[in-house]
Amino acid sequence: MTIPEFTLEPLTPDTIPDAVAAAELIWPLTFEEYLPPGQVEHMLAMRSTDEYFNRYLDVSEPAGPAFLLVRVVGHSGPPAAYLSYRPQGLDELRLEQLYVQPQLQGSGLAGALMAHVLDVAASTGRTRVSLTVNRNNGRAIAFYQRWGFRVESDLVADIGATFVMDDHVMVRTN
C-alpha cells in the first residue's frame, strides 16, 4: 500500500467553503448506512456555520484547536480528508473529526493522519487522546482499535430535530 502524498492545510476564513464541500461529499457516504433519513443534513447544517468554524481559527495554544484540510498532491476538487482536534485540559487531546473520502479509505491516508494526531499529543505532553465514534460505525471502531483505542463509555446526545448522536467514547493512553 502506498500512502498518497498529501499536505495539511490549516483552516482559514478563505478555506471554510472547502471544509464544507469536503463534509458534504464525505458524510452522506460515511453515515448513510446507519443514520436515519435527514440526520446527515441536520448535522451538516449545524457544522456549516461561521460560529462552528471560528472555534478553530484561534490557534493560541500549540496543540490547537486545529482543523486541518488534507489535500492529495496532484488532485483538484474538495479536500481528500480533514481532521480536527483540541486540547482538553493539560493531559488530553480530543480528536473531534477524522474523515477521508471513501475512495481513499484503505490507502493508508487515515493512518498517516492518526499518526499526526498522536505526534501532536506527544509533543504537547498529552498522555491521553479521546474521541467519539458512532457505535454502528464498525469500520471506524476497528480502525481506532488498531491504533490502541478502547471503548471507555457510551454517550447519547440530543442534537435537535429528534436526532441523537449514539456514540462510543474511545480513549488511548500513552
Q: Which pLDDT band holds residue 173 (cuts at 50, 70, 90)?
A: very high
Residue 54's pLDDT is what?
85
User: Is 103 part of a structural domain of the chain?
Assistant: yes
Q: Considering its fold, how many domains does the chain have in total?
A: 1
User: Is 137 part of a structural domain of the chain?
Assistant: yes
User: Is 32 part of a structural domain of the chain?
Assistant: yes
User: Is 134 part of a structural domain of the chain?
Assistant: yes
Q: Which residue has the higher pLDDT, 73 or 58?
A: 73
Give the span between the Cα atoms of 21 and 52, in whole angstroms: 15
Residue 122's pLDDT is what?
95
Lowest average pLDDT, out of 47-56, 142-151, 160-169, goes to 47-56
User: Is 1 part of a structural domain of the chain?
Assistant: no
CATH number for 109: 3.40.630.30
Domain that holds residue 64: 6-173
Q: What is the pLDDT of residues 75-89, one digit of tens each?
A: 999 999 999 999 998
Cβ–Cβ under 8 Å, residues 9 and 71 = yes
Q: What is the pLDDT of residues 14-71, one digit of tens each?
A: 999 999 999 999 999 989 899 999 999 999 999 888 788 888 887 666 556 899 999 9
Residue 64's pLDDT is what?
63
Residue 1's pLDDT is what?
63
Residue 126's pLDDT is what?
95
User: Is 154 part of a structural domain of the chain?
Assistant: yes
CA atoms within a 13 Å half-sphere pointing along the CA-CB vector of 30: 25
User: Is 76 part of a structural domain of the chain?
Assistant: yes
User: Is 13 part of a structural domain of the chain?
Assistant: yes
Q: Which pLDDT band holds residue 142 (cuts at 50, 70, 90)?
A: very high
Q: How far is CA 152 from CA 101, 149, 168, in A?
A: 27, 9, 7
pTM surpassing 0.85? yes
Give the span between the Cα atoms of 151 and 141, in whole angstroms: 9
Give the span between the Cα atoms of 45 and 30, in whole angstroms: 16
Residue 119's pLDDT is what?
96
